[in-house]
A = this chain, B = another copy of it.
Amino acid sequence: MIAEILSVGTELLLGDILNTNAQYLSKRLADLGIFVYFQTVVGDNNERLKKAYDIAFKRADVVITTGGLGPTKDDLTKEIGAEYFGKNLILHEDLLEEIKGYFKKLNRDFVKSNEKQAYFPEGAVILPNENGTAPGCIIDEKGKMLIMLPGPPFEMIPMFENYVVPYIKKYIDGAIVSKVIRTFGIGESSMAEKVSDLIENMTNPTVAPYAKQNEAILRITARAKDEFEAKKLIEPIAEEIKNRLLDYVYGEDDDTLENVVGRMLLDKNITISTAESCTGGLLAAKLINYPGISKVFIEGAVTYSNEAKISRLKVKKETLQKYGAVSSQVAAEMALGIAKASNTRIGISTTGIAGPGGGSDEKPVGLVYIGLCIDGNVKTVRYNFSGDRQKIRERAAMYAIDYLRRELKNIF
């Protein structure tokens, strides 16, 4: 099966946005064993979109579009797609009600132009949009398939995973199963080196490394006659990888570092509180993203100023004067202070220099201390992060959570 990705939107041709959709879909289609020979980007233009459909269907069985499903006159993907297949657009009353409901929920007036989003080519399979107003659809006829998805990635990705993958799987022989091993705290190349023999020599399953923001992953992909057999091929390799990467491995598949740690805390009912300086709430925000965490997450303090550190966390004035706010000693007092103030078993703190200003030779931008108090015992760790202000803060929060994960694993 050969697919082509057709991204629709003048904003892509103007360079206003990066085409992350094409990358995402290409990667997922490769996982599914579907070949992609071309990606095309075309603007919101009637004639050129028509030509793009024509060229794409001459060289592919499946064309997947992203973008151009919205309410404005510029949004043409569905209209031209229907025309290409010789279909009329039909109003789906039930979808119209859903779209109206969506507006109501957001307290926004329903603008008439949005009715357009409830019209679909005759006979098309509707793809629900759980994160926006424009549903997608599939026209599947005479050996050609046109799959139309919305442009915003947070709408496109769930629609693709929940509705498109199950739909196209029936056209694929055998099964392709992937498992992702997730690591934190090791670079992609160092990780790859530890399993280079597997990456280079394996053919089924294959092992491939990827660098993601703040983490490195290995994807194991097996092909077999069914899912069960494919999984049997994957398991021993997954075990081998875990044995080699040890503590760097924090999870699998859809795990996130925050959720793994949230689960550990909840499972063992360990209460926690946070005291943040440079991360400014990001650490709490990440921990709280785990549903149900309210049972153990008692309180967070964003003590950006020295006054707040003193009044709120009982950090000693002398410690601040002697060592400075960005120091191992202050990180330790912050962690202990918040644990005491909130009466929690764990207190975790961050203090650092996120920049762009405020750095010195001795304490450069990117220097971050993390403090961790568990049942009264306090440890700290020091990092030097690179990147801009946002990246340093993001990394500090993630490394703090990873530090917590490693300590929780050893102690409890």
Measuring CB to CB, which residues of chain A are less than 8 angstroms from any residue of chain B? Answer: 10-20, 22-30, 36-43, 45, 48, 51-52, 55, 59, 70-74, 102, 105-109, 111, 113-114, 131, 152, 154, 186-190, 192-193, 200, 208-211, 213, 219, 274, 276, 279-285, 287-289, 291-294, 297-305, 307-308, 312, 342, 355-357, 366, 383-391, 393
B38 touching A40 by the CB < 8 A rule?
yes
Contacts of A307 in B (CB 8 A): 298
Inter-chain contacts of A283 with B (CB < 8 A)? 281
CA distance A328 to B231 in the complex (A): 51
In the bound complex, do residue A37 and residue B43 qualify as a contact, i.e. CB atoms below 8 Å apart? yes
The 6 closest A-B pairs by CB, nearest first: A15-B27, A300-B302, A280-B288, A281-B281, A281-B284, A15-B26
With A13-B39, A25-B15, A285-B282 known to touch, is A187 a contact of B108 (CB < 8 Å)?
yes
A305 engages B300 (CB within 8 Å): no
List the B residue with the shortest CB-CB distance to A307: B298
19 new A-B contacts, CB < 8 A, other than A299-B303, A300-B304, are A12-B26, A13-B30, A18-B19, A37-B45, A38-B41, A71-B188, A102-B386, A105-B384, A106-B384, A106-B385, A111-B189, A131-B387, A276-B281, A280-B300, A281-B300, A284-B302, A298-B305, A299-B312, A300-B302
Residues of B within 8 A of A55 (CB): 55
Cβ 8 A contact of A105, one of B13, B187, B211, B386: B386
The reply to whether B48 and A189 form a contact with Cβ atoms under 8 Å apart is no
> Shortest distance in angstroms between A269's beta carbon and chain B's nearest beta carbon?
14
> How far in angstroms is the closest Cβ of chain B from A93?
20
Contacting residue for A40 out of B39, B43, B389, CB 8 A? B39
**Residues A289 and B298 in contact in the complex (CB < 8 Å), given A27-B16, A114-B189:** no
Q: Complex Cα distance A42/B41, Å?
A: 12
Contact between chains at B107 and A383 (CB < 8 Å): yes
Q: Least Cβ distance of A399 to chain B in Å? A: 11
Q: Which residues of chain B are near A23, meaning CB under 8 Å?
A: 12, 15, 17-19
Which of B48, B114, B193, B393 contacts A289, CB < 8 Å?
B393
Chain B residues whose C-beta falls within 8 Å of the C-beta of A12 in the assembled complex: 23, 26, 39
Q: Contacting A37 at CB < 8 Å: which of B13, B74, B294, B312?
A: B13
A18 contacts across to B, CB distance below 8 A: 18-20, 23
Chain B residue nearest in CB terms to A302 = B300
Are the C-beta atoms of A189 and B52 separated by less than 8 Å?
no
Contact indicator A188/B391 (Cβ below 8 Å):
no
Given contacts A26-B15, A292-B357, A355-B291, contact A366 B105 (CB under 8 A): yes
**Cross-interface CB contact of A304 among B13, B51, B73, B297, cutoff 8 Å:** B297
The interface residues of chain B lying within 8 Å CB-to-CB of A113 are 189, 192-193
Q: List 14 A-B contacts (CB under 8 A).
A: A15-B24, A18-B18, A38-B40, A39-B41, A105-B366, A105-B386, A107-B384, A113-B193, A152-B211, A281-B284, A288-B393, A298-B304, A298-B307, A300-B301
